[in-house]
């Protein structure tokens, strides 16, 4: 069905307006053209899937989920100890029944309870992403499995903890629009048809995140039904948002909070030397190896395998200790990084 973006007559015409129309008609003008615009735009309107989100709504939701994506990305990077990139792929609306038809089975769907709204939302995670995270956390290299299978109870419990920690940033992201909005995990299903958070005909907002890890892209879909998105859209106004500087400062605070409690590996490197395979195989007790520096030179400290500081070894009471001397300059970092043997 085609509509023209023109003004709709919503009141009864006065006698003066009727006389004006009749006067124009007598002059040979088409009454049907009186209210039309030369540059009117016609567009297809889908009654089954009405668009709840206008351009302003999408822009505000994108800002909200950019804040969340930043905290989510930082959490995954510190947990997996590898580079992670998270971006917003799409923000759209669709009927809930059509959305469920697009979800493959088996899947990983989490129900979220929003206490202030007394409503449910859902998070859909690809099983391959679950397998990747679990293998990585248990000491593996992290592989994306091609063949789908249901997750095991152990994998489900590990992933639930990851999701709970990851989505703590969602409350922070929404605090300027809907303060005090809590997201509580309320259930897990592998069959999407068992996730009844909305009627089939309900129009839901769908936010898709792309998670890129080592050139592999995983998707997460966050589904907000009308009971969730409508109250949020009512609060999305210009008054509820501060300027971009405040948003940036808030994002920095989130990152700083995660960095403060991140664990890093620190290794003190006394010295290095080089051996051939034959020399290595011939080593025996009592052999003396010549190192690459005098004994009184400071030792190098590596943070997560990157040279960062100079220290001097010694004792503090009965314990071995190191005295901090200074931080390496950028040129020194490049120099020592390039000469590493291991």
Domains parsed from the chain with CATH numbers = 2-44 (no CATH), 55-260 (3.40.1550.10), 266-338 (2.30.330.10)
Q: Which of 309, 304, 253 is nearest to 80 (CA)?
A: 304
C-beta neighbour count of 53 within 10 angstroms:
19
| Cβ pair 68, 169 in contact under 8 A | yes
Strand partners, 122: 111, 223
Q: How many CB atoms lie within 10 A of CB 78?
A: 15
Nearest to 142 by CA among 196, 35, 216: 216
Map tokens 């000491």 to a residue.
Answer: 139
CA 242 to chain centre: 22
pLDDT at 218: 92
CB distance 176 to 187 below 8 Å = no
Model pLDDT, residue 50: 60
Query: Considering the entire predicted model, what is its pTM?
Result: 0.58
Task: Specify the DSSP class assigned to residue 256.
Answer: H
Beta bridge partners of 324: 311
Cβ neighbors of 282 (< 8 A, separation 6 or more) are none
- Bridge partners of 217? 212
Provide DSSP, 75-99.
Answer: HHHHHHTS-EEEEEEEEEEEEHHHH
- Cα 129 from Cα 268, distance rounded (Å): 35
SS3 222: strand
Q: Which residues pair with 285 in a beta bridge?
A: none
pLDDT by position in tens, the chain (length 342) = 444 444 444 456 677 777 777 766 555 555 455 455 555 556 555 555 566 677 888 888 898 999 999 999 999 998 888 889 999 999 999 999 999 999 988 899 999 999 889 999 999 999 889 988 988 888 877 776 666 788 889 999 999 999 999 888 898 888 888 888 899 999 999 999 999 999 998 989 999 999 998 888 999 999 999 999 888 888 875 444 554 555 566 677 777 777 777 778 888 888 888 888 988 888 899 888 888 788 788 888 888 888 889 998 888 888 888 888 899 888 888 888 776 544
- 262-292 exposure pattern, b = at least 16 Cβ within 10 A, e = fewer: eeeeeeeeeeeeeeeeeeeeeeeeeeeeeee
Query: 């009844």: which residue's tokens?
Result: 196
Question: In 3D, which of 49, 65, 41, 205 has the Cα closest to residue 122?
Answer: 205
Q: DSSP letters of 87-133?
A: EEEEEEEEEHHHHHHHS-SS-EEEEEEETTTTEEEEEEE-HHHHHHH
């Amino acid at each position: 069905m085609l509509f023209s973006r023109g003004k709709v007559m919503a009141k009864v015409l006065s006698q003066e307006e009727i006389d004006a129309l009749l006067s124009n008609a007598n002059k040979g003008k088409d009454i049907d053209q009186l209210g039309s615009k030369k540059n009117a735009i016609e567009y297809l309107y889908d009654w089954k899937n009405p668009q709840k989100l206008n351009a302003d709504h999408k822009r505000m939701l994108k800002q909200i989920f950019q804040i969340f994506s930043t905290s989510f990305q930082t959490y995954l990077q510190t947990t997996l100890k590898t580079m992670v990139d998270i971006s917003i792929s799409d923000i759209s609306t669709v009927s809930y029944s059509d959305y469920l038809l697009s979800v493959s089975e088996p899947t990983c769907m989490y129900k979220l309870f929003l206490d202030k709204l007394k409503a449910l939302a859902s998070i859909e995670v690809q099983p391959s992403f679950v397998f990747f995270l679990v293998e990585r956390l248990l000491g593996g290299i992290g592989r994306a499995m091609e063949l789908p299978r249901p997750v095991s109870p152990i994998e489900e419990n590990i992933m639930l903890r990851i999701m709970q920690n990851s989505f703590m940033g969602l409350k922070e992201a929404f605090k300027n629009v809907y303060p005090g909005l809590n997201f509580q995990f309320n259930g897990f299903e592998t069959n999407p048809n068992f996730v009844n958070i909305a009627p089939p005909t309900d129009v839901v907002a769908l936010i898709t995140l792309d998670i890129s890890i080592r050139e592999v892209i995983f998707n997460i879909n966050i589904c907000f039904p009308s009971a969730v998105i409508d109250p949020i859209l009512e609060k999305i106004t210009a008054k509820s948002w501060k300027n971009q500087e405040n948003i940036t400062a808030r994002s920095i605070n989130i990152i700083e909070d995660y960095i403060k409690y991140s664990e890093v590996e620190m290794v003190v490197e006394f010295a290095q030397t080089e051996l051939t395979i034959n020399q290595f195989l011939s080593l025996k007790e009592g052999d003396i190896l010549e190192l690459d520096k005098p004994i009184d030179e400071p030792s190098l400290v590596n943070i997560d395998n990157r040279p960062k500081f100079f220290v001097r070894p010694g004792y503090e009471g009965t314990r071995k200790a190191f005295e901090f001397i200074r931080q390496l300059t950028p040129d020194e970092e490049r120099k020592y990084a390039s000469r590493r043997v291991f």
